[in-house]
Chain A
Amino acid sequence: MGALKQVSQAKTNATEERLARLTLPQGAGWATEAREGALARLRAMGLPGRRDEYWRYTRPDTLVQPSAPEAALFHNDEGPLFDTIDRVKLVFVDGVFDPDLSDDPALGGVEIERLSDASQADIHWSKDLYGVLETDGQSHVDRPFAAMNTAFAGDGIVIRATGKAEKPVNLVYLHKSVSSDAILHHVVRVESGAELTMLETGPAAARFNKCMEVDVAAGGTFHHIRAQGRDHERRAVTHIFARLAEKSVFKSFTMTANGVLTRNEAVIDITGDDAVAHIAGAALGDGDFLHDDTVFITHDAVGCESRQVFKKVLRNGAVGVFQGKILVKQGAQKTDGYQISQSLLLDDDSQFLAKPELEIYADDVACSHGSTSGAIDEEGLFYLRSRGIPEGPATDLMVLAFLAEAIEEIDDQEIAADITDRLESWLARRRG
Chain B
Amino acid sequence: MLEIKNLHVKLEEEDKAILKGVNLTVEAGKVHAIMGPNGSGKSTLSYVMSGRDGYEVTDGTAALGGEDILDMDPEERAAAGLFLAFQYPVEIPGVGNMTFLRTALNAQRKARGEDEMSAADFLKLVRAKAKDLKIDADMLKRPVNVGFSGGEKKRNEILQMAMLEPKMCILDETDSGLDVDAMKLVSDGVNALRDEGRSFLVITHYQRLLDHIKPDVVHIMADGRIVKSGGPDLALEVENNGYADILAEVA
Bound CA–CA A403/B86 (angstroms):
26
- B72-90 CB mask vs A (1 if < 8 Å, else 0) is 0111011100011010011
Q: What's the minimum C-beta distance from A404 to chain B, rounded to whole angstroms?
A: 4
Interface members, chain B 41-76 (any A CB < 8 Å): 50-53, 73-75
List A contacts of B125 (CB < 8 A). none
**Which of under 10, 10 to 19, 20 to 34, or 35 or more describes the interface residues of A?**
20 to 34
Contact call B75/A390, Cβ cutoff below 8 A = yes
**Which of under 10, 10 to 19, 20 to 34, or 35 or more describes the interface residues of B?**
20 to 34
Q: What's the minimum C-beta distance from A193 to chain B, rounded to whole angstroms?
A: 35
Contact call B94/A388, Cβ cutoff below 8 A = no
List A contacts of B117 (CB < 8 A). none
Contact call A401/B95, Cβ cutoff below 8 A = yes
Interface stretch, picked from A116-124, A250-258, A374-382, is A374-382
Contact call A389/B104, Cβ cutoff below 8 A = yes
Contact call A401/B93, Cβ cutoff below 8 A = yes
Closest chain B residue to A382, Cβ basis: B52
Contact of A388 among B104, B143, B144 (CB under 8 A): B104
Looking at chain A's contact residues, the main secondary structure is helix
A166 interface hit (Cβ, 8 Å): no
Contact call B93/A382, Cβ cutoff below 8 A = no
- A392-432 CB mask vs B (1 if < 8 Å, else 0) is 01100110111111000000000000000000000000000
A362 interface hit (Cβ, 8 Å): no
Bound CA–CA A234/B103 (angstroms):
35
Q: What's the minimum C-beta distance from B19 to chain A, rounded to whole angstroms?
A: 19
B107 interface hit (Cβ, 8 Å): yes
List A contacts of B207 (CB < 8 A). none
Interface members, chain B 93-149 (any A CB < 8 Å): 93-95, 99-100, 103-105, 107-108, 111, 143-144
Contact call B90/A397, Cβ cutoff below 8 A = no
Assuming A387-B100, A393-B103, is B53 touching A401 (CB within 8 A)? no
Q: What's the minimum C-beta distance from B232 to chain A, rounded to whole angstroms?
A: 29
A125 interface hit (Cβ, 8 Å): no
List B contacts of A379 (CB < 8 A). 90
Assuming A387-B104, A388-B111, A389-B103, is B92 touching A401 (CB within 8 A)? yes
List B contacts of A401 (CB < 8 A). 92-95, 143
Closest chain B residue to A387, Cβ basis: B104
A–B pairs, 19, beta carbons within 8 Å: A378-B53, A379-B90, A380-B90, A380-B91, A380-B92, A382-B52, A383-B90, A383-B92, A386-B84, A387-B78, A387-B107, A387-B108, A388-B75, A389-B75, A389-B104, A390-B111, A397-B95, A397-B99, A401-B93
Across the A-B interface, give the 9 residue pairs with the lowest CB-CB distance, nearest first. Answer: A401-B94, A388-B78, A388-B108, A387-B104, A383-B90, A385-B74, A404-B94, A401-B95, A380-B92
Interface residues of B (CB under 8 A from A): 50-53, 73-75, 77-79, 83-84, 86, 89-95, 99-100, 103-105, 107-108, 111, 143-144, 160, 164
Given contacts A401-B143, A402-B94, 10 further A-B contacts (CB under 8 A): A377-B92, A382-B74, A383-B144, A385-B73, A386-B77, A387-B100, A391-B75, A393-B103, A397-B100, A400-B94
